[in-house]
Amino acid sequence: MKLVTFEQSGTRRPGVLLDDGIVDLAAQGIPSGRNGDLLEIARGGDEMLARIQSVAASTAARVPLAQVRLCAPIIEPGKIIGIGLNYIDHCREANLPVPSVPVLFAKFPNSVVGPDDEIVFSRRICKEVDYEVEMGFVVGKRAHRVKEADALSHVMGYAIVHDVSARDLQFRDAKQWDHGKSCDTFCPWGPWLASRDEVPDPQVLDLRLLLNGKEMQRSNTSNMIFGVARLVEFLSESITLEPGDLIVTGTPFGVGFSRKPPVYLKDGDECVLEISGLGTLRNRVRELP
């Protein structure tokens, strides 16, 4: 299923995206999060997903896609955990050693925006704002000390995430990654959350990023150093993962700061991110004084 949060007439509701429109899950008695999003569905686990699948199959009513705006699938994830340096070619372009264990950082919920929302930053605060295409996954079942063999059963679904990064904030002082990663609007994601059954193997997905129509990044999730199952195992050893948490799995070669000369986002730029089976995420950049 393609699970979405959509807005119509100023109200957000959870839905299932089909070829001929959206099934309004709230209208069918499915609970939504306090932001009208998919958070309560995530908390309902596999039983809730089975219920939704039945509801979507038996409901004739559709909301036309042209009448709604798609939002981030979960507006305020409890945790957003980023994985740094998770592609060998990205380690090389950053001139950093390949990590022996996953490198973690946080993106805070204030950074979340959805499809077609603007990425906004002020040049008074940061000037070196970079793009990063990444696959993200949402936790669907509480994970505490989970073994790799069972890890994927704790995943609700997968989505495209844009890990926008202010490099001048990230690398200054004591290299505080969280600051440069967590500015407002620096975590666009969506356009939908593909349920786990739609992505039987998350390590075979093509991903790419286009900046103003020019391809800047292209890779495959098979090139990740630490795959999804290993990440769930590693994280859950010390950090209990809760339903609705968003894990962002790293970016491949081609980011802006490593280019010569560097390429940073500027006012009016359009970023288009694509991952096979997960759709297209499109956002424009607005630069403030």
How many Å is the Cα radius of gyration of the chain? 18
CATH 3.90.850.10 residue window(s) in the chain = 80-288
Instruction: Name the β-bridge partners of 281.
Output: 273
Which pTM was predicted? Answer: 0.97
Reply yes or no on whether the pLDDT at 43 is more than 80: yes
Identify the pLDDT of residue 95.
Answer: 86
If one looks up domain 80-288 in CATH, what number appears? 3.90.850.10
For the record, the structure tokens of 158 come out as 């997968």
pLDDT single digits (tens) 113-156: 999 999 999 999 999 999 999 999 999 999 999 999 999 999 99
Among the ranges given (171-180, 206-215, 221-230), the one the predictor scored with the smallest mean pLDDT = 171-180
User: Contact at 8 Å (CB) between 36 and 13?
Assistant: yes
The residues with which 103 forms a beta bridge, in sequence order, are: 84
Express each pLDDT in 54-103 by its tens digit. Answer: 999 999 999 999 999 999 999 999 999 999 999 999 999 988 899 999 99
**Percent above pLDDT 90 for the chain:** 97
- Closest by CA position to 224, among listed 182, 169, 275: 275
pLDDT at position 271: 98
Q: What is the pLDDT of residue 172?
A: 84
pLDDT tens-place string over residues 219-230: 999 999 999 999
Per the prediction, the chain carries an average pLDDT of 97
Strands (E), the chain: 2-8, 11-18, 21-24, 69-71, 80-84, 103-106, 112-113, 119-122, 129-130, 133-139, 155-162, 165-166, 187-195, 206-211, 214-220, 246-248, 270-275, 279-288
For residue 207, pLDDT over 90 is answered with yes
Mean pLDDT calculated for residue range 8-27: 97
